[in-house]
Structure 1
């Protein structure tokens, strides 16, 4: 596996990477490249990488562990525990909505609220003036803000910070010795720095503790991620036999709650992970990327397997994970990973259904008619990008310019309202509410 990993890393300009698999209880690990080009330190199996939004699985497991203990009801309003959380439209939001990305909360700003123990609560305060994208339980919209609120719920119920709850209620019992969220713990571990595709170290080290529950801070190894995946695979027990989650909690994590309109990112969403179907087999997981690293974790119950990948070239993280998973699933698990659907320029596009202005808290999308179809202009932070949208059918499109998805390569989609016109635009996972017509 080392040669496979090294070949894919070289082909995709990845500086350093890890692969870990556990199949039928047997672990396999591989590493490639260097952790820091300035120091020349090699990647080892215990080198920590920033894992980004894969962290959301850890936060989901914490919430489900509280449900196991009878400390939270997944279907009671979050305001029962967080009465001060008066977000627009939040009265009906439940923990299940938060975990399944059906809360309707905007993705939220990428903001740093400091290093104190109350930084998660301070981040939640930033959400008070942001309108919801849709009513709770009526759609899908991937949301960092939802997961931060889940983290705040963990803090309120346990009386611990999210970081301490992570260690005491999850990482410790599951035997995840190389899973660390606080910067003061990092000097005691080997650490991979983020790199650009040219192999240059990325500065600064971005660390927003307020966004920690959603993926800003957590560092881990591919091996620890694969062990964590075993908890969801082995009916809630860790590799050493410790009970971490109940069978009911694991089943909740495997139960689809909503269909995802932009299908390349995910087909359905459960209470924590996405669900896809590869070669007729259900696959669960999550990926994540921030400026320092990228990771992907999947678990496949029908194959009794977990697979995890980490890299320190975040802009190449998802293509790298796709290539590794495609190779590993074919060689080891006998699964064929689906290939991307190609647009069909012959499909008719009724531009009137989609044209208009769509907004999140930090991005404005303007969808216009173009000859033979539609195009979108995304405006954020003083920058703009225009891309033609190539039809895939079922109100889905593939951006002609892959930069529309940032570090992601995915389709976009529209959700139609009762009048037959679009009420939401999904840039892959992220949902934007319709603001009005182009001239409104």
Structure 2
């Protein structure tokens, strides 16, 4: 415990790259104290790490995941995705719809583990968790009816029965109640099923009037609004309603200029979830299998996880194509709009895994969307920290949380160094080292 000095390291600070940098942080308060180029006198009693040949990054931020394991088959215990994510260098997970009781339990466990590690000189094992809690679902709407299917278990019916039935009459009350329970932001759904292998309009869909009411009420409570929409029509509606960002990009058509212009006018961000859209459409199978191999080789998750990663949902309408999502991300990036890396990962969903799927997401930004490696890294560090209002993280600068990731090799030139070879070798959350890496050194 105490002061740690990492010197002679290639530093990506969340925005820019610095060579031969020194970063000093204090595990007692979890803060970064100094960042500069070159070396200086080492504080007495400090732990010293030679960063030659390594890259130091801010802890990665996963901008779209789900922590409650609601789609796991009956009898299978939920697997802690926050442990998997920390192993991958993700120090903050942003949940976009989970049961408040599950979120509360996980947050309490994080707080207890952190306090114990700080007081006794121990280690941490999970990422930090932000959450929307229960999203603003409507009666019989998406994803309620989609998840219930034809023969739901009694347990699943019980869980989904706890979800809100939001209406114009109770929209403001829902916002206040959700905030009081500890929501960090609000999630809304706009879904007409036109991108799915289901009849368009087969489920009830929220009206523009309701989405406007929810967004206004959330903003009155200083809460950000993130909207589910994976087709152009629904995207247009939630942007018109005033949503701050989209939880997906659209996959039903090439990006129309008027929709790009609406993004620009509203300055909304996008969490593309290319990983999720790839499994929806059955695209990128060889890439999915390659990352499943990484999970298995590095022992990052249980057998169930890397087997599920090899599958795909493949439940898209014929006109919904993965290439449209790639085109949308490319165009939005070219127009200077904010892109935030997220995967829509949840335990039990075919084709994704909390943690390694973020690596796959970043690789697709570089390989398919024309981003530089540094631009891709920004989508998982400084950009989501700024847009989610997480002012204490996302950058390696004095005063911020010591959420740090040390990786063998130059990640800023070759993204694959995050997972290939030695990959991520050490992780700190609030200055406390991750147990997985201590045990494997």
Q: Which structure's residues are more often helix, by fraction?
A: 2
Flag the structure with more relative contact order, 1 or 2, with Cα contacts below 8 A and sequence separation at least 6: 2
Q: Which structure's residues are more often strand, by fraction?
A: 1
- For normalisation by structure 1, the TM-score amounts to 0.24
- For normalisation by structure 2, the TM-score amounts to 0.24
